[in-house]
């Protein structure tokens, strides 16, 4: 059974940094795609960063050069390092897994079959 669990959220001032972690257990696929998504109040859930098992990476324009997605295979953990945070980064953040997919195949959110419960990030002075 695949399970995802996020941690590391919280409150931070504008310009600050946070690192989110997502432990992924039970994934037996050798080809897979992991992602970070977020839903701000009153908005649709959006894709912000993707990383696949072959090293393919994709960022949303809104976070490019500020956020970094990475993984530690030894810990089955996906990370999202967030720097230069802005108030508009305030949202519920989710990690997700799409088994059998790669970044270059441009999957939609519907292809992510497994999701974490989400973790709140609040950027405010």
pLDDT tens by residue, 23-80: 999 988 999 999 999 999 999 999 999 999 999 999 999 999 999 999 998 999 999 9
Total residues found in the chain within this entry: 125
Reduced to 3 states (helix: H, G, I; strand: E, B; else coil), residue 110 is: helix
What confidence score (pLDDT) does residue 28 get? Answer: 85
Tens of pLDDT along 2-29? Answer: 999 999 999 999 999 999 999 999 988 9
pLDDT for 108 equals 93
Q: Is 122 helix (H, G, I), strand (E, B) or coil?
A: strand
Q: Which pLDDT tens digit goes with each residue over 99-119?
A: 999 999 999 999 999 999 999
């Amino acid at each position: 059974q695949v399970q995802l669990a996020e941690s590391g959220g919280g409150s931070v001032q504008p310009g600050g940094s946070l690192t989110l972690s997502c432990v992924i257990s039970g994934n037996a696929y050798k080809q897979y795609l992991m992602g970070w998504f977020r839903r701000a109040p009153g908005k649709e859930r959006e894709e912000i960063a993707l990383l696949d098992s072959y090293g393919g990476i994709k960022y949303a324009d809104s976070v490019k050069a500020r956020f970094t997605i990475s993984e530690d295979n030894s810990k089955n953990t996906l990370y999202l390092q967030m720097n230069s945070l802005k108030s508009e980064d305030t949202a519920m953040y989710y990690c997700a897994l799409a088994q059998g997919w790669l970044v270059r195949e441009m999957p939609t959110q519907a292809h992510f079959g497994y999701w974490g419960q989400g973790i709140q990030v609040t950027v405010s002075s």
